[in-house]
């Protein structure tokens, strides 16, 4: 039995923070490990910020969706969706030079999930990420 939930927001810094906190609260109903919750929130923060900065532009306040799919005692899948134009996609996950102020979002995502992918279909971008969760991290 999989549990699915969809969160909606606008791509602004304030609403992204509120959105990722809401997702973290939802995940806390299932996951015991607070470090893991932090990782998920960080991954979503990076993905949503990328949507704001690159899909829409910082002033556009475009629509954002987060789809959470929980496969209890096995894995969690997250999808971040937006209606911005297509882009080249996450084909590089190289860590930035230390002096670079930007460009670490995708690298952080790649380090905290087991797999991720991007697609553009019918006017929608989807960044999907999945992480296996060991049994001990779940709430009984």
Partner 1 sequence: MESMKVDKKGQACILRYSGELTLEVIDSLKDQVEEYLSGSECMSLVMDLSKTVFLDSSGIGFLVHINNRKTTKNKEFYLLAPSPQVHKTLSLVKLIDFFNILEDEDEIPSGSE
Q: Which residues bind partner 1 (CB under 8 A)?
A: 13-14, 16-17, 35, 38, 41-42, 45-46, 49, 52, 95-96, 98-102, 104-105, 107-108, 111-112
Nearer to partner 1, 35 or 121 (CB): 35
Least CB distance from residue 59 to partner 1, whole Å?
13
Q: Which two tokens stand for residue 23?
A: 């997702």
Q: Which two tokens stand for residue 25?
A: 């609260």
Nearer to partner 1, 16 or 23 (CB): 16
Least CB distance from residue 5 to partner 1, whole Å?
22
Nearer to partner 1, 40 or 124 (CB): 40
Cβ proximity of 43 and 24 under 8 Å: no
| Class of residue 51 by CB neighbours under 10 A (exposed 0-12, middle 13-18, buried 19+) | buried
Nearest-angstrom CA–CA distance, 114 and 135: 16
Least CB distance from residue 26 to partner 1, whole Å?
17
Nearest CA-CA partner of 75 in 123, 103, 116:
116
Q: Which DSSP state fits 135?
A: G
Residues forming a β-bridge with 104: none
Nearer to partner 1, 39 or 71 (CB): 39
Least CB distance from residue 25 to partner 1, whole Å?
14
């Amino acid at each position: 039995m999989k549990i699915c939930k969809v969160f909606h927001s606008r791509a602004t810094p304030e609403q992204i923070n509120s959105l990722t906190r809401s997702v973290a609260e939802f995940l806390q109903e299932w996951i015991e490990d607070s470090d893991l919750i932090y990782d998920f929130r960080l991954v979503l923060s990076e993905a949503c910020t990328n949507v704001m900065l690159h899909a829409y532009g910082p002033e556009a306040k475009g629509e954002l969706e987060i789809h959470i799919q929980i496969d209890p005692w096995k894995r969690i899948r997250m999808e971040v969706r937006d209606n911005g134009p297509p882009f080249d996609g996450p084909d590089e996950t190289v860590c930035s030079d230390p002096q670079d102020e930007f460009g670490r979002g995708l690298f952080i995502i790649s380090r905290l999930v087991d797999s991720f992918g991007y697609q553009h279909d019918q006017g929608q971008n989807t960044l999907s990420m999945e992480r296996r969760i060991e049994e001990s991290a779940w709430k009984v």
